[in-house]
Amino acid sequence: MPCPVSDACELHQALRSSVIKRVRYPHVLPQCEGTEGKQCALYAYLSTGRPVPQGLLPDGSTGDYADRSAGQSYRFMVIEDSQVFATLTASTLRTHFSGATVDVKSSFAAAEPDLRAIQYTAVICGYGLGGDHTVHDVRRVTRAPIVVLTGRPDEIALPSGSRKVMKASGPDALASAVREMTS
């Protein structure tokens, strides 16, 4: 018998609509669908009509499963010459920021007209952006927060309003940096 409060459970709804969240929390959905829920921390709140603490998981710990971007409109610019990293970056942004619009350009020269005309939530780019252009050129054109996604292990001089994330850090590090820069 499934949990009787699963339709009112934000976690259950988030897992049903996202393969990524089901992979991240594999033990939760079977519990929702195969028990009456009485062992679940969320059930204890929902069944008594109390508001559920943000991010509460069935075992009483917390996780980042909720889509806190609901109702917000995000538009990102990704400037990356590697098609692989551009695709991964755009995918990460779309996954972590529901409904986000992501523009992808391969160089600063290709991105410059849009950077001047469109107000972006954030720009995600490498340090070097083709030719003699760097992230400092992006700063001269826009005041949007910048996340510099780089493979350079050495220290690099970043413009104000930017943060460095190593490419090897993975998608969660990128999403966290973007959230930090845009909050």
The predicted pLDDT at position 182 comes to: 84
Kindly report the average pLDDT of the chain as a whole number: 84
> Cα separation of 112 and 116, whole Å?
6
The Cα–Cα gap between 69 and 88 comes to 20
Q: Tell me the H-state helices in the chain.
A: 10-16, 19-24, 28-34, 41-46, 83-96, 108-117, 135-141, 171-182
The top-scoring range by mean pLDDT among 8-22, 65-79, 101-115, 149-163 is: 101-115
In this structure, the chain runs to a length of 183
Distance CA 37, CA 152 (A): 48
pLDDT tens per residue, range 69-85: 445 688 999 999 989 88
Which residues, other chains included, contact 22 with Cβ-Cβ below 8 Å and sequence gap of 6+?
A: 15, 29
pTM of the shown model: 0.62
pLDDT, one tens digit per residue, over 82-101 is 898 899 999 989 888 878 89
Span 113-133, pLDDT tens digits? 999 999 999 999 999 898 899
Please state, in angstroms and as integers, the Cα–Cα distance from residue 150 to each residue in 80, 136, 146, 162, 167, following that order: 10, 14, 12, 12, 5
Q: What are the extents of the domains in the chain?
A: 1-66, 75-182
Residue 140 reports pLDDT greater than 60: yes
Compute the Cα dihedral for 22, 69, 96, 84 and give only its sign. positive
Please list the residues that pair with 62 across neighbouring strands: 56
Q: Which CATH architecture has domain 75-182?
A: 3-Layer(aba) Sandwich (3.40)
Q: Which residues does 9 contact at the CB level (< 8 Å), separation at least 6?
A: 3, 32, 42, 43, 46, 52
